[in-house]
Chains A and B, each alone.
Chain A
């Protein structure tokens, strides 16, 4: 139907050239109209083709997103943790060689570069996924944004783990932050000396701990916060016990004085009133001794448990905190990936 008018009209202008001026004009109009019709048809066909094509293109893009880009994303993520572990092991080995922090960093540079490459690949894979779908508020866009947040969190976590590791590892090393100096042990003859030694070790240690608080890795940050508080408690308890010990020595002196006082009063047959007064003084002294003792016990117990728990605290950074973080990402990210795949499927259903 549509094509009929076109061929029937086209010979018309040619069949009657210059016969009459008026029909010639009309024929011109007819030609224009029919060309317009042809143009409209072509345009519609083009629109239809473009729609079809872009629909096809979109479908292919989604297919690539789902099968290509997402698979690559999962793969690059899988490489991150082994690369991080390789670096941690290499660094630790180098440090134990023994070597200084700088040397150890140099000797583990290969592993560190490999990790950084893995992290870069991971971020690139994420960027590819993001670029594959630009509209943000449809089902796919939301799933992409959710995946991005979790994935980014994971890469940040791993990067922080690697970047701050020398700092973390050096905390309890003598040529590092020297936090091991907190374990004064039998090095001190008196509790005051212990408090002084502890204070000396605590200053550089807490400074390093403060730096670790700036890490990108939450597990390190939380650990640093706890360690900082524990050291502060150690310092405060060391001060209390040192003070108590000094008080105690004072009490011994006062006790001797009191003994002499009683002896002397007995010798000169002092009045009952005087004895009562001495008894009252002794009672006050006793209360002070008891309180001093109670404070000492409390602080000493806390000091000891603080020292005893510290290795566990360090140990748990990897055995518990980082393990828990990674476990969390390990359950979240595969779900996010699956949700994105399903969101793509929703669009691909025919």
Chain B
């Protein structure tokens, strides 16, 4: 170090300028190298690129395809769930269906929402037309996703009530048996309690279905209770006959409620799908228009 200080003192003008050149060269080299590195690392100019638009269109296609997965996955879940319920397979098997098939649907939803968000982080949405189309797309697809999410809840709740404690009421009880009224009232009370719980978290249509079934069962239950409350044999016979006659209507009432529910649910879903398809087409054509513009500009540039 000390020697260097001596050198500096003895420096001539020529070597001074030479040192400046060297320093300048070093600085220039470092700057150039750094710049080169940065250029390679980023190597993309500012603003929306054609690649952003193409990429977003691919992401759009991924989401659109993902929506088609709900149907088969949901059917699988629903079939397995109802099999477990009708065959009274036990809590462990039920949990397995819920954890495997039910969770799969939930995961599906989380993934799709993430994908929607990721699309939103594309530079392409900065452009007004694409941005607006994307917002509509996001809104409509989120609605389809939310519907499918809700469908899992609805199905579970229907299975736990109508498919659960309510199921044996009209299939395994012996109408001719002495204890029928008693059995019915007991079963109906369990069914009504399950329906009460099931209404928690269901959408309007499903709640309506559950309420309709609840009404039918409650009516029957009360008639059977009257049989039990009858003071003598003759009254009991009369009440029992009445309750039996009323039972004839129950299938119509239940199937009417079910048909109405299925119709309403279908209509709702069809509407959502139509809207989603429209928004998908709009976004697709906005993106296509932009890529076409890029292609045209590239041609002009040649």
A and B together in one complex:
yes
Contact residues of B: prevailing secondary structure: helix
B55: contacting residue among A33, A41, A346, CB under 8 A: A346
Any B CB within 8 A of the CB of A67: no
Q: Is the CB of A225 within 8 A of B177?
A: no
Contact residues of A: prevailing secondary structure: helix
What is the minimal beta-carbon distance from A24 to any residue of chain B, in angstroms?
Answer: 10
Q: Which residue of A lies closest to B34 (CB)?
A: A44
Q: Is the CB of B62 within 8 A of A350?
A: no
Q: Which residues of B contact A331 (CB under 8 A)?
A: 68, 71-72
Q: Which residue of B lies closest to A41 (CB)?
A: B33
Q: What is the total number of residues of chain A having a CB less than 8 Å from a CB of chain B?
A: 52
State whether A22 and B6 are in contact (beta carbons under 8 Å apart), knowing that A40-B33, A335-B68 are contacts in the complex: yes
Q: Is the CB of A22 within 8 A of B3?
A: yes
State whether A298 and B174 are in contact (beta carbons under 8 Å apart), knowing that A146-B111, A343-B62, A346-B58 are contacts in the complex: yes
Complexed CA–CA distance, A295 and B179 (Å)? 11
Any B CB within 8 A of the CB of A135: no
Complexed CA–CA distance, A22 and B80 (Å)? 90
Q: Is the CB of B3 within 8 A of A229?
A: no
Complexed CA–CA distance, A26 and B4 (Å)? 8
Q: Is the CB of B80 within 8 A of A218?
A: yes
Any B CB within 8 A of the CB of A100: no
Any A CB within 8 A of the CB of B48: no
Q: Which residue of A lies closest to B180 (CB)?
A: A294
- Which of under 10, 10 to 19, 20 to 34, or 35 or more describes the interface residues of B? 35 or more
Any B CB within 8 A of the CB of A222: yes
B7: contacting residue among A5, A9, A26, A226, CB under 8 A: A26
Q: Which residues of B contact A350 (CB under 8 A)?
A: 51
Q: Which residues of B contact A349 (CB under 8 A)?
A: 51, 54-55, 58
Q: Which residues of A contact B178 (CB under 8 A)?
A: 291
Complexed CA–CA distance, A26 and B165 (Å)? 96
Of A45-53, A112-120, A162-170, the stretch lying at the interface with chain B is: A45-53
Complexed CA–CA distance, A47 and B37 (Å)? 8
B21: contacting residue among A5, A37, A225, A345, CB under 8 A: A5
User: B residues bordering A, Cβ < 8 Å?
Assistant: 3-4, 6-7, 10, 15, 21-22, 25-26, 28-30, 32-34, 36-37, 40-41, 51, 54-55, 58-59, 61-62, 65-66, 68-69, 71-73, 75-76, 79-80, 83, 87-89, 93, 104, 108, 111, 114-115, 118, 174, 176-178
Instruction: Other than A324-B75, A338-B65, give 14 A-B pairs with Cβ distance below 8 A.
Output: A1-B25, A2-B29, A2-B32, A23-B15, A44-B34, A44-B37, A47-B37, A48-B36, A51-B41, A139-B118, A142-B111, A291-B177, A294-B176, A331-B72
